[in-house]
A and B are shown apart, each in its own frame.
Chain A
Amino acid sequence: MAQAINQALADCLAEDERVFVFGEDVGTLGGVFRITDGLAAKYGERRCFDTPLAESGIVGMAVGMAMNGMRPVVEMQFDAFAYPAFEQIVSHVAKMRNRTRGTVSLPMVIRAPYGGGIGGVEHHSDSSEAYYAHTPGLTVVAPATVADAYGLLRAAVAWPDPVIFLEPKRLYWSKEEVTLPAPTEPIGRAVVRRPGTDATLVAYGPSVQVALAAAEAAREEGWDLEVVDVRSIVPLDEQTLVASVRRTGRAVVVAEAPGFASVASEIAALLSERCFHALSAPVRRVTGFDIPYPSPKLEHHHLPDVERVLDAVATLQWEDA
């Protein structure tokens, strides 16, 4: 996946001279995850460059650049390192189009490695999607596949609104046989990754792989589970989610962020409102606990795994149980 993101950035830089890639350590080093490896060497230090260590400055500078016709792509080194830029994101990035009555748009991408599962110490494993999803004006996407990492990032750079691009860092080293660019669905579309008839697992980002593994394991229990990859948290493809759950009659939403006031909660509420008469059981959420992200040696307790998903599926009040 890391290579797919690198390829997407390289292709954007090659095709559009308005694109700039910058952040902390993205130049010579190629990023702490090597996502920007080789870009500065190939496209020059004016197009891919290191900034002073200041997230608010990075995002704020991107705002001014986007106002003046550029398409900046900035990197927040880790999910929780983006918080110093939060005011810029909430007060300006998200609102500029609205404040100016549609006159000033900000086509820019804020990339952030997000989520846990890599043994990072504190401040390196947050799932911050709810903060962004809650803020009107931001588009929020999270790829779960190699093809999507490329396709969604290309779409994000071309998107006329600011995009928060959440990269599941534990999938950086995931491998797929795929020739890029592979065809992918656009921003705003969810995808059924695995068809099934008994229940729908809704997931995004790193949790899609967990859901797929759970669906595979569920076959032993005789359950045929559908897996829907949300991909685009904002705008949310309600239609695909609702159609799936109306078909299967049961749903579990899987995400690793704390569950309280979360994207998972929003999706669960939406499905309850719109699928109530088709539901044979309450919609369940399987999320991280409502705790600060734990230390590496304890994170396996926190992260939803196949077992926890299957336990939730088991409570879906099967008629023949």
Chain B
Amino acid sequence: MTRYGYYPGCSLHSTGAEYDHSFKAVCNSFKIELEEVPGWVCCGTSPAHASSHLLATALPIKNLALAEYAGINELVVPCAACFSRFKMSLRELSENEKLSEEIKEIIGSAFQNKVKIIHPLEVFDKMEEKNIKDAVKKNLSGMKVVCYYGCLLTRPPKVMQFDNVEYPMSMDRVMQKCGATVLDWSYKTDCCGATFSLTETDAVLKLTNKILENAKAVGANAIAVACPLCHANLDTRQAEIEEKYQTQYGLPILYFTQIMGLALGIEPKELGMKKHLVPTEPVLAAVK
């Protein structure tokens, strides 16, 4: 039995609930236990780092201090934006001793920097290939996926230290082990417009259109993602993109944990497959 601390972040409790449900279901299948950080608060996400350096550092560190207090050594952070904020804040502290003292004063608790931050992709990528293959119950070879990592998982590489910065492969490997057909493509780490979804919507439509276009061009019938912001932009805005650019994609955007869940034979409903705005039925029909 492996145990990890778990920081779901705000999105996984609302717009990205499928990610939360499917990640937990997959962990359950592999006998991985998750302990949610007691009393966690928002990491501040982009509004904080665009407004105050101190605030943007204090909020993630407060959460790490809470995790430390709960005796957590390894903390899994599935949201790419939270994952990035946590690692960026630790970098700030390591570079600046004065800031480090100030942050401790601000959060009002001790922090010893003992918690290791990991992404779910790392959890599954380091699992033995045999263990995953043994657990797979369904054939996903009819599912042709491209893996979309987005901006924040790998960049900047000095801080994130996660996979190859321009052409990461961890999600591709996990998907392959689950039996999906994984395709090469050009938009793995391109920006989807992230936080501009509600404000500069046109920019988001423009950027996501290119991503969907390339996915379709290489023959994908689904896009695998690891970030609730990417998911929101590609899934909830897809109808608008099709209308604006006079095209038809119909590409289901699935969290990679949902695809894992399908391979492991978990019920689609339990994986939140009904929560998508782009219908997932076509790709579910490819699961044999």
Report if A and B associate in a common complex.
no
A interface residues with partner B (beta carbon < 8 Å): none
B interface residues with partner A (beta carbon < 8 Å): none
